[in-house]
Amino acid sequence: MIPPDLLKRLEQAVHDALGNWPEEWTRFHWPGYTFHHTQRVRRLARRLAKEEGADVEVVGVAALLHDITKADGREHAHTGAERAHTLLDGQVAGDAVTRIADTIAAHNTAAADDPVEWRVLSDADKIDANFGLVAVTRYFTIRGSQGMSLAEALDGVPSWKEHHVERLELLSSDAGRRCADHRLVVMHRFCDEAERDPVTRAIAQFFVDDCTRPDLPRQVEALATEGVPGASAEEAVAFVARIRREMNGEL
């Protein structure tokens, strides 16, 4: 459906829009965060689509473009759908353009009775931001950017956990709920261990401290090759292996 050369142009368009957006911290976003988030959502959404029997190609392209107009704020789902039409009209045959655009438009609001493509993209988007070790790094990074110490960030974990009860209720596919349930256990375990295990605590401290211009692929590579103060690369190996699989959409 999507010619390889067109796919490369779409990928470049997303990179151009998000690779350095925003140029400085803006609320819960930092330079390049949404670009890396998009890459992870694309991988996870394709996996969930396979598990749910959805159209993997429609989901994959919609996931690639879902945040391309993120700078528009709350309206970015609708402006993103319009942007998808601009990029795809005349390039893709059949009703695929409309299906992709509709999936993008619904990625913040999909519900249980909506098309499966809408639901798996919506779930992948919510899961990446809120569940698992990727979400753990986001939590500690944001708290660090707000000037919190690790102790203060850990004090906020109970209320953060409550937030995820509400987020689970927003998921609308069986595959998405299974994924989130599994990641939820892992993230809670990490936060519990950060209270008492020195290696886990050192990893959490690393993300609190490295908050000026964080870059998750760079940070994970640093953990894998150098370790961090208080935890060697050998000690961080389990964390690195797990988060890499999340980033690849495998878990």
Same-domain status, 76 and 141: no
Same-domain status, 121 and 146: no
Q: Which of 125, 157, 179 is the last residue of a domain?
A: 125
Which amino acid, one-letter code, is at 229?
A: P
How many C-beta neighbours within 10 Å does residue 249 have? 21
Domain boundaries, position 164:
131-247
Same-domain status, 92 and 13: yes
Using a pLDDT cut of 90, give the percent of the chain over it. 92
Same-domain status, 144 and 80: no
pLDDT of residue 27: 85
For 27-85, how does the pLDDT look when each residue is reduced to its tens digit (9 = 90+)?
Answer: 889 999 999 999 999 999 999 999 999 999 999 999 999 999 999 887 899 999 999 99
pLDDT of residue 140: 98
In degrees and rounded to multiples of 5, residue 131 shows phi and psi of -135, 135
Please give the tally of structural domains in the chain: 2
Quickly list H helices, 146-197: 150-155, 157-169, 174-194
Same-domain status, 144 and 74: no
Q: Which of 96, 125, 154 is the last residue of a domain?
A: 125
For 203-247, how does the pLDDT look when each residue is reduced to its tens digit (9 = 90+)?
Answer: 999 999 999 999 999 999 999 999 999 999 999 999 999 999 999
pLDDT of residue 2: 87
Q: Which residues pair with 231 in a beta bridge?
A: 228
Mean pLDDT of the chain: 96
Same-domain status, 159 and 114: no
Same-domain status, 118 and 97: yes
Cis peptide before 22 (omega within 30 of 0): yes
Query: Would you state the structure tokens that stand for residue 150, as one six-digit string?
Result: 């690790």
Q: Which of 91, 125, 159 is the last residue of a domain?
A: 125
Same-domain status, 41 and 71: yes
Same-domain status, 110 and 174: no
Measured over all CA atoms, what is the biggest interatomic distance in the chain, rounded to whole angstroms?
Answer: 58
CATH of the domain at 20: 1.10.3210.10
Q: Are 45 and 120 in contact (CB under 8 A)?
A: yes
The tokens 């960030």 sit on which residue?
Answer: 153
Cα–Cα distance for residue pair 54/94, rounded to 1 Å: 17
How far lies 222's CA from each of 8, 56, 60, 210, 228, in Å?
Answer: 29, 33, 29, 11, 8
Same-domain status, 103 and 139: no
pLDDT of residue 217: 98
Same-domain status, 65 and 88: yes
In degrees and rounded to multiples of 5, residue 231 shows phi and psi of -150, 120
